[in-house]
């Protein structure tokens, strides 16, 4: 698709790991992206990180050839992105924080503009209570890093309208992503299956059955997992994983979703995975 054929403009809320990753994807595929965060310093860091991710994505052949990069605007004001054709909220995985951001932005944009929550676990219909027009509200679960994972889990809420779903499908097509639509439940498909499994792997490490390297090697060599559960946890972010597990535990009652104490200890110590340079593995320096 040529630049002239690209019709979408994105507003992304939150300049954390996922917000930056989705912004990099949008810019890399030629879309205009307005990245909003309340913290100017975080936006400064986001601009540098997006430049780094675009260079890496280009080297890895993950961006389309012949498509000029889109414009990136960073701002603390949602109003600067009010003309977006779609909003993607990617703030921290806490329901109350997401609800506040969604309430504000949904009242700002034009009716018919899809407001999308990028969440790993929180039910879409629960968050829909906060938005101005639930029929315009839908969920996604981009995987990290978005420019390398070609598939996106799309969550249709009970009140999601057909127009919002169709527009989101158009946005994802312009981003070169394949959408798979699932129905709404805590954790949807990927997190509901993957995160308790990672929690079990962490428990195995805490109990002394095997170190992280052995657990991951067994999953890679015996089960065909590309990275293993502990390296995957470090990539997700151990704080994000703990938040997601809490959501699952609170909303499903599944005891296997209660975050393992070793995970909580690492979060408390600030060892959050790749983004801080240390998690279940030591990455030598802060990779961000």
Q: What residues are annotated to the active site? A: 141
Q: State the SS3 of the chain.
A: CCHHHCCCEEEEECCCHHHHHHHHHHHHCCCEEEEECCCHHHHHHHHHHHHHHHHHHHHCCCCCCCCCCCCEEEECCHHHHCCCCEEEECCCCCHHHHHHHHHHHHHHCCCCCCEEEECCCCCHHHHHCCCCCHHHEEEEECCCCCCCCCEEEEEECCCCCHHHHHHHHHHHHHCCCEEEEEECCCCCCHHHHHHHHHHHHHHHHHCCCCCHHHHHHHHHHHHCCCCCHHHHHHHHCHHHHHHHHHHHHHHHCCHHHCCCHHHHHHHHHCCCEHHHCECCCECCCCCC
Which has the closest alpha carbon to 102: 141, 135, 138, 131? 131
The residue whose two tokens read 């799309």 is 154
């Amino acid at each position: 698709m040529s630049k002239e054929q690209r019709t979408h403009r994105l507003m992304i809320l939150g300049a954390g790991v996922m917000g930056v990753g989705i912004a990099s994807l949008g810019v890399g595929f030629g879309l205009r992206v307005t990245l909003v965060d309340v913290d100017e310093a975080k936006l400064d860091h986001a601009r540098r990180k997006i430049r780094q991710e675009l260079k890496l994505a280009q080297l890895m052949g993950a961006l389309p050839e012949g498509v000029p990069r889109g414009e990136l605007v960073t701002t603390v004001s949602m109003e600067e992105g009010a003309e977006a054709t779609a909003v993607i909220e990617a703030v921290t995985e806490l329901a109350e924080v997401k609800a506040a951001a969604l309430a504000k932005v949904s009242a700002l944009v034009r009716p018919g503009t899809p407001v999308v929550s990028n969440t790993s676990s929180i039910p879409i219909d629960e968050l829909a209570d906060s938005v101005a027009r639930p029929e315009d509200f839908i969920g996604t679960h981009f995987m990290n890093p978005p420019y390398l994972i070609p598939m996106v889990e799309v969550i249709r809420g009970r009140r999601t309208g057909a127009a919002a779903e169709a527009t989101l499908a158009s946005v994802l097509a312009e981003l070169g992503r394949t959408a798979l639509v699932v129905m709404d439940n805590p954790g949807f498909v990927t997190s509901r299956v993957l995160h308790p499994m990672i929690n079990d792997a962490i428990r195995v490490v805490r109990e002394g059955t095997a170190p992280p390297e052995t657990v991951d090697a067994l999953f890679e060599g015996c089960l065909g997992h590309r990275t293993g559960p502990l390296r995957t946890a470090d990539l997700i972010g151990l704080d994000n994983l703990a938040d997601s597990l809490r959501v699952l535990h609170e909303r499903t009652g599944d005891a296997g979703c209660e975050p393992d104490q070793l995970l909580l200890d690492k979060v408390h110590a600030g060892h959050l995975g790749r983004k801080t340079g240390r998690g279940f593995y030591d990455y030598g320096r802060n990779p961000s």
